[in-house]
Chain A
Amino acid sequence: MPTEWVLLSYRLPREPSTPRIATWRKLKRLGVAQLNDGLVALPDDARTREQLEWLAGEIAEAGGVATTWLARPSVIQVGRDLVAELTKARVEEYAAIIEEARSAAELGDSARRALKRRLSAELHRIGRRDYFPTAERAQAHEAVAEIVDA
């Protein structure tokens, strides 16, 4: 379990909505845990810290206010709950991939190849926000690998 978390505290003006949406998309892409309105967390490592620092810079450029923090929950269970929350989110994404991959057999050749390409790209994206080991990760990779691409 990570002992250190990197937090992003941010506030953006309600209008214009474009930077708000861009920020929301980036946070989703990074797979953050939402602690509160305008407060998100990721396990701290070189990449997560850097990504949240860049996002803080972009929020400031868009007229908002944002700071990044290194934090340790004062109660161990809080950290465990965060890990559980992030793990559950990834497991659900992997489960959706597995389900789609299993439907591949019913498709024609070109649709099946297209599905395999799309799911492989999606696995790469999920992998970038997958911070804790799960059995579902390997299962999803296997399910996509097994799609016949002939």
Chain B
Amino acid sequence: MKWATRAHIHIDRCACAWLIRRDLDPAAEFVFVQDPEEVPADATPFDMTGVELTHHGGDCTFETILRRYRLDDPVLWRIAEIVHEADLDDERYHAPEAPGLDVVLRGLSFFCDDEKMLELTGPIFDGLYEYFRRARELGREPA
């Protein structure tokens, strides 16, 4: 399937693309557009104004996708807290990882195109997932 989002992706769109490939559509193909008008007819748009899969009621798009597709894995929700705080920084959650991750991704985005961002950030989200999966299993911080 084709998925479309705004070009120059940052944390929320990187995390959504990772989530889409991981849980919704392993063969997902991503298209990056400058304007909502450029979204191809056969693509599902996300993280842009006026579409279903975007910010709603204070949620970032990653949270919207989790709700819309009923992905209730608590590990994904822990990652959602980080994505939310890195994206919106509104202190809804306590996510001390957020400012660091925001800086890392912002730094990469200065010299990486959107495809490269997906390639580099995918393993970062895999790492976060594994860390919080182990933390839940152990009931403490894994080392």
Contact = CB atoms under 8 A, between A and B. Distances in A.
Interface of A: 26, 29, 46-47, 50, 53-54, 56-58, 61, 124, 128
Top 5 A-B residue pairs of the complex, sorted by shortest distance between their CB atoms: A57-B49, A54-B55, A53-B49, A46-B8, A57-B55
A128 B89 contact: yes
B8 A56 contact: no
Nearest to A47: B10
11 contacts: A26-B90, A46-B8, A46-B10, A50-B10, A53-B49, A54-B49, A54-B88, A56-B49, A57-B49, A58-B58, A124-B99
Main secondary structure of the interface of B (DSSP, over half): loop
Interface of B: 8, 10, 49-50, 54-58, 88-90, 99
A128 B55 CA distance: 20
B114 to A, nearest CB: 13
A47 to B, nearest CB: 8
A58 B56 CA distance: 7
Nearest to A128: B89
Contacts of A46: 8, 10
Given A54-B88, A61-B56, 7 more contacts: A26-B90, A46-B8, A50-B10, A54-B55, A57-B49, A57-B54, A61-B57
A58 B55 contact: yes
Contacts of B89: 128
Nearest to A53: B49
B8 A57 contact: no
A65 B60 CA distance: 21
A53 B49 CA distance: 7
